[in-house]
Amino acid sequence: MEIKKDVFKGIESLILENDYIKATFLPKYGSKLASLINKKTNREIFFQAKEKQIEIPKYGSKFSKYDSSGFDEVFPSIDEAPYPEGKHKNKMIPDHGEVWTLPWEYEIKLDYVLFSVKSPVFDYIFTKKVRLNNNKLEFRYIVKNLNDEEFKYIWTPHALINPYDDAKIIVPERLKKIITVEHSSEHLGKWGDIHNYPITISKKTNKEIDMSLVEAVEKNNCEKFYFLDKLEKNDICGIEYTKTKEKIIYRYDVEKIPYLGVWKTQGGYRGDYNIALEPCTGIYDDLYLANKIKKVAKVDAKSSVSWDFIIELINN
């Protein structure tokens, strides 16, 4: 594996590269994984916005005002929300969390890079160790709680994948029900509506629609939903390109990351076209709500928690 410094769309970047993968990180932009190239097919895995230069956000920025591409770290909430209790009660967590807007420190080691950032508000240190292992990009995350009380959080990898024209969601067959968390979903209706998966009846057309597929960009809509059932040990999820049989597989600690969300942008958000599978430590998007329904992750006072997340690229 080679590790080198470069520039990506006007921002200092760090590249991890081997015979299978080229991964480009932006340490000053929340350690965003801006680009992920499958070198065996020469295809960009992540959706790329049309802008040639991108701007580093300021703390507390609205996510929609900045670059919506690549893989952003979302922590400790997805939606803007008040912290639910304790000494940080009612302190506002910014849109898509804190860490995507913050500059991260990094250390280059022999065969990995260690990224880290300290919260300016909530007293935690968030680190990730990143390495390439043949056709796998491996992450080890650690959250160190500096508080004298437990800290609650939601983490998800907001990784926007290129659908091309043949992307299909891969999940365990037993996941048969989904709940929409968009307020005006074209096909799934209002927030909280529950549907069968993968085949359901569209609220718009009253016809069957396969929610495991991505519609054309001309459809000009968005969908965000969660599977009602938790993932179980050894479960995986991913994307298959049905024409090429190329796959993007996520492997991770489902005991620590039990929920799975899906975000589909089919032209309805800034004209973008992408899909994100979002393994998640808590639901639904809002930390305050997640705490209220007791579906939230937590780390004990003066303690740490860790988890692994792997992106595997499989070619035909």
Report cis status (omega within 30 of 0) of the bond before 198: yes
Report which of 111, 77, 114, 82 is spatially closest to residue 96, judged by C-alpha positions.
Answer: 77
Tell me, what's the pLDDT at 316?
A: 81
Residues 267, 268, 270, 273, CA torsion sign? negative
* DSSP H stretches of helix in the chain: 287-292
Given the structure tokens 């932006």, which residue do they identify? Answer: 26
Tell me, what's the pLDDT at 233?
A: 93
For 50, other C-beta atoms within 10 Å of its C-beta total 8
For 194, other C-beta atoms within 10 Å of its C-beta total 14
Integer Cα distance of 190 and 180 in angstroms: 7
Under 8 Å between Cβ of 78 and 96: yes
**pLDDT tens digits for the chain (316 residues)?**
999 999 999 999 999 999 999 999 999 999 999 999 999 999 999 999 999 999 999 999 999 999 999 999 999 999 999 999 999 999 999 999 999 999 999 999 999 999 999 999 999 999 999 999 999 999 999 999 999 999 999 999 999 999 999 999 999 999 999 999 998 789 999 999 999 999 999 999 999 999 999 999 999 999 999 999 999 999 999 999 999 999 999 999 999 999 999 999 999 999 999 999 999 999 999 999 999 999 999 999 999 999 999 999 999 8
Query: 3: burial class by Cβ within 10 Å (0-12, 13-18, 19+)?
Result: middle
Integer Cα distance of 72 and 79 in angstroms: 14
Q: What is the pTM of this model?
A: 0.97
Report which of 278, 305, 282 is spatially closest to residue 293, judged by C-alpha positions.
Answer: 282
Report which of 316, 312, 315, 314 is spatially closest to residue 23, judged by C-alpha positions.
Answer: 312
Query: 310: burial class by Cβ within 10 Å (0-12, 13-18, 19+)?
Result: middle
* Domains of the chain as residue ranges with CATH: 1-155+286-316 (2.70.98.10), 164-280 (no CATH)
